[in-house]
Amino acid sequence: MSDDGDLSALVWGFLGISLLSVGGGVAALPEMHRLMVETHGWMDELAFSKRYALAQAAPGPNVMVVGLFGWHVAGITGMFAAMLAMCGPTSILAYGFCRLRGRLSGALGMRVFERGMVPIAVGLIAASGLLLAQGAAEAPLAVAISVGSTLFVWRSKRSPLWVLAAGAVLGAVFLR
């Protein structure tokens, strides 16, 4: 599965995604789904949702899931290559921006920009949730877990780790 063609497709894919990932890693998941599942067929959609689950169950930034996608395509090399492609260019951009920040913070243009872009990010995050749920929906109970977890996270202030733990137990007992 891991030849040079795959590795370069992986790197170019995540480079392209990273520079437009307004709203962070989760908002870019639909585009990652296109890259991993639809364009290259590197994994099916259940595998895609499970990689996201693995990354969520471990500590660290949400974007770590990109490392798991990279690992799947080209092992440890793929993991580092995908993470670097996803994080390198945007880090340089963030660095440059933060150096200028003193002059820009609180500026009107900045606030309008933020307010105008955030709804797009939220819409993309919602789409990510629906795509992930579709991928995991291999049984009615899985759909019920997704719905319950949505309501819990929306309505409650408790740590979302509770829903991951509940999902793990329900899955282990009933989805075998």
Partner 1 sequence: MPPSNRELFLTYLQIGLTSFGGVNAWARHMLVEKRGWLTEQEYAETLGIGQVLPGPNALNTAIGVGVRFGGAMGALACALGLFAGPMALLAGIAALYDAYGQLPLVRATLTGIAAAAAGMVLGTAIKMGVKLKPTLPLLAVGVAALALALLRAPLPFVVLGLAPFGLAAAWWAFRQGGGRP
Residues 14-43 that bind partner 1 (CB under 8 A): 16-26, 28-31, 34, 38
To the nearest whole angstrom, how small is the minimum distance from the Cβ of residue 79 to partner 1?
A: 7
- Name the token pair of 20: 């437009």
Helix, strand, or coil (residue 42): coil
Could you give the CA distance from residue 42 to residue 50 in angstroms, rounded to a whole number?
Answer: 14
Tell me, what amino acid is at 116?
G
**Are the C-beta atoms of 65 and 51 separated by less than 8 Å?**
yes
Return the percent helix, strand and coil in the chain, to nearest 5: 80, 0, 20
Please list every residue from 142 through 171 that binds partner 1, using CB under 8 A: 142-143, 145-154, 159-161, 163-164, 166-171
Which of 4, 41, 103, 172 binds partner 1 (CB under 8 A)? It is 172
Q: Backbone dihedral region of 30: left (phi > 0), alpha (psi from -120 to 50 degrees) or beta?
A: alpha
Please list every residue from 70 through 99 that binds partner 1, using CB under 8 A: 71-72, 76, 79, 83, 86-87, 89-91, 93-95, 97-99
Q: Which residue lies nearer to partner 1 by CB, 4 or 114? A: 114
State how far Cα 80 lies from the chain centre: 16
To the nearest whole angstrom, how small is the minimum distance from the Cβ of residue 3 to partner 1?
A: 18
Q: How many residues bind partner 1 (CB under 8 A)?
A: 111
E strand spans, 43-158:
none
Could you give the CA distance from residue 93 to residue 46 in angstroms, rounded to a whole number?
Answer: 34
Q: Which residue lies nearer to partner 1 by CB, 8 or 16? A: 16
> Which of these, 11, 8, 32, lies nearest to 88 by C-alpha position?
11
Mark 108-147 with x for binding to partner 1 (rule: CB under 8 A) and - for no binding: x-xxxxxxxxxxxxxxxxxxxxxxxx-xxxxx--xx-xxx
Q: Which residue lies nearer to partner 1 by CB, 36 or 49? A: 49
Mark 45-74 with x for binding to partner 1 (rule: CB under 8 A) and - for no binding: -x--xx-xxxxxxxxxxxxx--xx--xx--
To the nearest whole angstrom, how small is the minimum distance from the Cβ of residue 41 to partner 1?
A: 15
